[in-house]
A and B are shown apart, each in its own frame.
Chain A
Amino acid sequence: MKLLGFLILLAFFPLFAGEFYINLASQIFIFAIFAASINLLLGYGGLATLGHASYLGVAAYTSALLGLKLGLGHWIAAPAALLGTTLMACLFGLIALRATGLGYRWVALTDGDNGLRGLSRPFHLDDAASFYYFALAATAASLWLMARFVGSPFGAALRGTRDQPRRMSALGHNVWLIRWITFVYAGFWGAVSGLLFVYYHKYIHPISLSLTNSAEGLLAVIAGGSGTLGGPVVGAAIVMLLKNYVSAYIERWNTLLGLVFVLIVVFMPEGVVPGVKRLWLRFASRT
């Protein structure tokens, strides 16, 4: 019920908010998908990643290049970008899971520091409100499908591999395959966020594949609460608000982001969503 109320509120948001805030909300949605896809690996699989922005960047670049260089429409470019990036995740998964426990990363794959310009949005979603609704629908569908994933028997097995991989193996679970499938699935959603990212900005730059971008996603998951469904969404909102809103007033917004992160770790080490829930339960039990 609460979720439905929240969705209704979001549906009415463009009716009373200015364009700046509508665009900010669209960016939060896109980043929420990205953070939620990292959460599949980190929160549910116990696999820390510093290379997840590659999926976002590769999907965005693939879609942009197919559109600009080959003149392909969104109906072909978007599925091709998703398929190509997911196949890349299949391959990277094979390599990355060999290094589990050390963390995994890969260097940015692209050149061209000028980035790609002149891109268009699908369905002529050129005004802020219509793109907002498109991003909202895509985010709601993505989060729902990710929630189904973690709430499924496979998701239970995934959490088991996070907590006791050796025991899971002794119970007949193929730990490596569970992790690889999750890696690919997370890569797919990273690609979806990349598509939305390039549609929103109509521009793509190699920095979108950078370590910083991956780290911001990771930070969003940890700040919001890893291993929870709402955590990455709240974390994405915190990071995007600081990045877009506070950076207008403070040049070194990253320092402030760091400070906020430290405060969260000190007062709510489990993240904002579980932390607020814990504080609320404590408060409710006293009153």
Chain B
Amino acid sequence: MAALRLQNLRKSFGGLPAISDVSLEVAPGERRLIIGPNGAGKTTLFNLVTGDLPRDAGNVVLFEKDVTHLAPHHRVHRGLARTYQIITLFPKDTLEHNIALSLLGLSKLRWNAFRSFDADLYVEARAVLARVGLEHLAKRGIAEVAYGDKRRVEIAMALAQKPRVLLLDEPLAGLSREERATVKQLIAGIPREVTVVMIEHDMDTALDMAERITVLHYGRVIVEGTRAEVVADPKTREVYLGH
């Protein structure tokens, strides 16, 4: 059984193909890295998986359930969580409130319009922040914390939902060397029951984080395999080095 299966996924923008017949299969618990140069269609692929963008053709299957026709929020309830390449948090709110909104997304409590916002959610939110080493900043506003901390909040929001499949869109982008090490450690510590699919632009920084790697170029899968296989493949060199 695959955790995530994409079947002949296609997406064009005004006649320009962004994703062309992409098929891939990610096993439960696997760490999959999707790499490719700028404009390869990596984020578009994620948006098709989450339903943020409607696909032109193809299917998205999550744990053998076809979710192609489900709205994005329904896919989240099936165990799919994601982070964004461009940090997308609630800047006016505290770190703990950001996490609480994430917890609320899967709770029936979100429909309750007549009771006070539950303090228990903040307790749970602080526990999630503790997992990413940010509990001490729980009451700080998002605008007050460093960029690297915001990246960790992004990941914490996704982890708070106890996902079965986690999509990380360039989680190391814009981080200093120290911050990268911290975030890589955080990703490495994600439990094995969570399948992780990660996009990274820079091949060297992320290769050691994955078991299998998919190389995307102009919206097509050109190479797929283990780290050694992908590095040895001449097509990878052609895409990254131009020869």
Chain A residues close to B by CB (< 8 Å):
148-149, 151-157, 160, 163-164, 166-175, 181, 185
Contacts and interface: CB of A to CB of B under 8 A. Distances in A.
A175 B110 CA distance: 12
B117 A168 contact: no
Nearest to A182: B113
Which 10 pairs, one residue from A and one from B, show the smallest C-beta to C-beta distance? A172-B105, A171-B105, A172-B76, A154-B113, A169-B72, A167-B88, A153-B109, A152-B113, A172-B106, A171-B102
Interface size grouping (class) on chain B: 35 or more
A173 B73 contact: yes
Interface of B: 50, 52, 71-73, 76-77, 81-82, 84, 88-93, 97, 100-102, 104-107, 109-118, 121, 157, 161
A167 B89 contact: yes
Given A170-B50, A170-B82, A172-B106, A156 B117 contact: yes
Contacts of A149: 113-114
A63 to B, nearest CB: 26
A156 B92 contact: no
Contacts of A151: 116-117
A69 B84 CA distance: 59
A155 B90 contact: no
B72 A156 contact: no
Contacts of A157: 101, 104-105, 110
A201 to B, nearest CB: 31
Contacts of B112: 152-154
B50 A163 contact: no
A171 B161 contact: yes
Contacts of B102: 171
Contact of B157 (A155, A171, A174, A185): A171
Contacts of A148: 113-115
Contacts of A153: 104, 107, 109-113, 115, 117-118, 121
Contacts of B101: 156-157, 160, 168, 171, 173
Contacts of B107: 153
Contacts of B81: 170
A254 B117 CA distance: 41
A175 B71 CA distance: 11
Contact of A152 (B52, B114, B157): B114
B84 A167 contact: yes
A170 B114 CA distance: 25
Contacts of B114: 148-149, 152
Nearest to A176: B71
